[in-house]
Structure 1
Amino acid sequence: MKFLEWIFRMILEKYNLKNTIFLKILISVLLMVLMLSSIFLVGCKSEQAKKEALQITVEKVYEIIKDKNRKYFILDVRTKEEFDSGHLESAALIPVDDMESRLSELPEDKPIIVYCRTGRRSTKAAEILINNNFAPVYDMSGGIELWKDKGYPVIVENEEAFTLETSSQAELLGENENGNENNNNKTTPSEEIQINYITSEQLYEWTGLKKDLIILDVRSGDSYSAIHIKNAISIPFYELDDRINELESDSDKLIVVYCSNFDCGLSKSAVEFLFEKGFKNLFALSGGIENWQSKGYPVE
């Protein structure tokens, strides 16, 4: 303060300005400018802090998954090949390079936990999410490598599409050779989750048989509104826990779940979730709606 006053006195004396009131005004203006600058700098630092994801440990994520806490959305940003070789339970797959174009598949009202192999890609993905106003975003420290080092379980995908002979289809659909209903062919969930895949051709054939079949679209509501498989119902993956009662009465029906394409992991995660809830006869559509549409099958 004394230093600033001295400077202004020098200026006033140089230009023969002796008005102390003028001096005080100049000092007051300068102080106000300094205060505003300080506020601006603090604001910039706060804004910078907002751009950084929160760190979360693998131990904490394990507790979240073990407790079946569906308040969090778990996002794997590795490649499909890495995802299929082993991923966290209930994780959805969006490779980091596809993140910008697939933000609509993510919930805006849930905390998002992002992970990759060691942490580099998840940091980039978290930055993209935060810049697009997703919050809070958590980056799992150490990635899946540290997760596995701790001995925590991973889900390994069966990459072979689930195939059925025609006779097996009839059996699974609940008919015997005379066309009567079978009641003893319900699948029983095993202790380990195994994803059964169905091809677009098989699903199209099943729809022609007009049996008890639910086609479940787990993409975002906007994606469903834009285009969906004919007669499919929409329950976005991140709403599945809250809307599970909409499927309870149909828990014995065949349920085919689909999302966008071969790289989308939402359908697999939805099958895992429904399996845990006791649903039977669950299938994930291989290739999603993009593969279905490429075959010329009906959409709405």
Structure 2
Amino acid sequence: MRQNMICYIFIGLLLATGLFNVAAGETLPDYIDISVDEAWNLLSDTSNGIQIPIDVRTDSEWKSERIDTPFPEDPRHFTLSKLQTEEGLQEFISMYNGSDIILYCRSGGRSSSAAYIISQSNFSGTIYNMVGGITDWKSSGYPTKLGNTPPYTPDIPDGPDICNINIFYNFSINISDPDEDAVRAGWDWNNDDYVDEWTDFYASGSKVMVTHKWTQPGVYPIKVLVEDRVGDYSSFSDTLIVTVNSPPIDLGIDGESSGKTGESYKYTLTCTDPEGDDVYYYIDWGDNTNTGWIGPYKSGDSINISHIWTERGGYTIKAKAKDIYDAESDWVTLKVTMPISLY
């Protein structure tokens, strides 16, 4: 594989310098040379599909000036030097496989080398090489962007401040950029100043929504920063404090397991809420009747409730509890039989 990569680089350099000629009957590299006019026509109109322009110049060249095309056909950056490594090539394929890509550089040499390397890999997609690069692009009067300004710092995230464990909740943020570059949001879910989750890129000014759940109760300050397509970051937003609540535990039901139809039987229920919240109970008597949610009751207090079965048979009592934030416990059951009738 390393020998193949060296071969790709060497042939790419020959292509870029014009020292390599394809003999009659040999297969040409599987990419298409296009002019800057053809590139502009592709990148200024999404009715012909989505083409992704990719700048293969150095980091400093990219940040200094790049072509300016509208989202979602705005330019991306992936250096030729990175593409010339096996790891870099595989990363590129994982990012853009199946896409139509337009490679460009300063004048077309490096993008030609990049196009050849990609065309000889397992990349599936249409590969265009923009002949003349950004130099011809500017000479033809097409727009560019100079330098870069970091994205705006977002406002505090919007979402619930009390959540129950193991349930997904929606959170949203508005993200924008002074240069109108595409932007994405990075979510820090545990206040450690590291991004735990990135969204996709969106047009500047978009409202972005994500879902998240917590598996452990606690207090979680969450915040967001924004990255633009050029690679600059905003500061983190102010934090939204989210309290993650757990459901009642140790639910128990106690009472007679057999009896007579038409006679009232008392059952005792108790549970504990880890946060000390008041609790509600729901009891299904197994005979197509139930209590609905009853309460609230103090955490840890026992309650007594009675029921009369009117028909002989076997029944399964099911009960569960919830706290004031609707976090529900698991069901508990008790089997009862009513073999004797008073009537």
TM-score, with length taken from structure 2: 0.40
- Structure of greater relative contact order (alpha carbons < 8 Å, 6+ residues apart): 1
Asked which structure has the greater CA Rg, the reply is 2
